[in-house]
Amino acid sequence: MPELALRRIEPEDKDGLVAGLGHLSERSVYQRFLSPKPRLTSSELRYLTEVDFRDHYALVAVLAQAPDVIVGVGRWVRDTRAPADAEIAIVIADDLQGRGVGTALGNALAEAARARGIERLTASMLPENVAAHRLFAKISSRMRVTHAQGVDEIVASLPARVRHARGVDEMVAPLIAAA
């Protein structure tokens, strides 16, 4: 596996997101967006890359030797009606799924959320997306899952102290060493 790093998303990552979406399988796209998503519009790209890191926080996993090559994206967005809640979403390149990239992103996102007053992370996912369910269980041992209209709605309470600090606010953090 290539050496990867974790960093904040930047407005200059628009092309990297377009390329990354183009390399995902139809199944991975469907699991992330809960519908087909052939392309990202310019307004979606602005929304996804131009974030404030207070109410909308996003990280990318990149190749350490080519930091513009995005192989994973994770984000949370604070719920304006319930400021202690945020919706989280993560997508990982197909060839790196099951190798710890999602866990690293999830833990870093949970840490950043807790530091900003978020107490609960929510997500909508397909019941058959076992990897996403397992990832949520790694982020929090206190979860509530409800099923409605073919989708699982998960609410995970964050622990008072998140375990795996990565320091992503200060610098690019090593994610996974070359195997």
Q: How confident is the model at residue 175 (pLDDT cuts 50, 70, 90)?
A: low
Looking at residue 178, its pLDDT comes to: 39
Mean pLDDT, residues 97-111 taken together: 91
Q: Is the dihedral of CA 64, 65, 67, 72 positive or negative?
A: negative
Domains and CATH numbers, the chain: 4-170 (3.40.630.30)
Looking at residue 42, its pLDDT comes to: 94
Mean pLDDT, residues 121-147 taken together: 87
Angle, helices 42-49 vs 14-23, to 10°: value is 110
Vertex 36: Cα angle to 98 and 46 (nearest 5) = 85
Q: Checking phi first, is residue 136 left (phi over 0); if not, alpha (psi -120 to 50) or beta?
A: alpha
Amino acid identity of residue 47, one-letter, is Y
Which pair of tokens denotes residue 63? 């190749």
Alpha helix locations (H) across 14-171?
14-23, 26-33, 42-49, 101-115, 130-139
Mean pLDDT, the chain, as a whole number? Answer: 85
Looking at residue 173, its pLDDT comes to: 54
Nearest-angstrom CA–CA distance, 33 and 37: 7
Q: Tens digits of per-residue pLDDT, 138-154? A: 888 888 988 988 888 99
Q: How confident is the model at residue 35 (pLDDT cuts 50, 70, 90)?
A: confident
Q: Tens digits of per-residue pLDDT, 153-174? A: 999 999 776 444 444 444 445 5
DSSP 27-42: HHHHHHHSS------H
Looking at residue 90, its pLDDT comes to: 92
Query: Does 57 score more than 90 pLDDT?
Result: yes
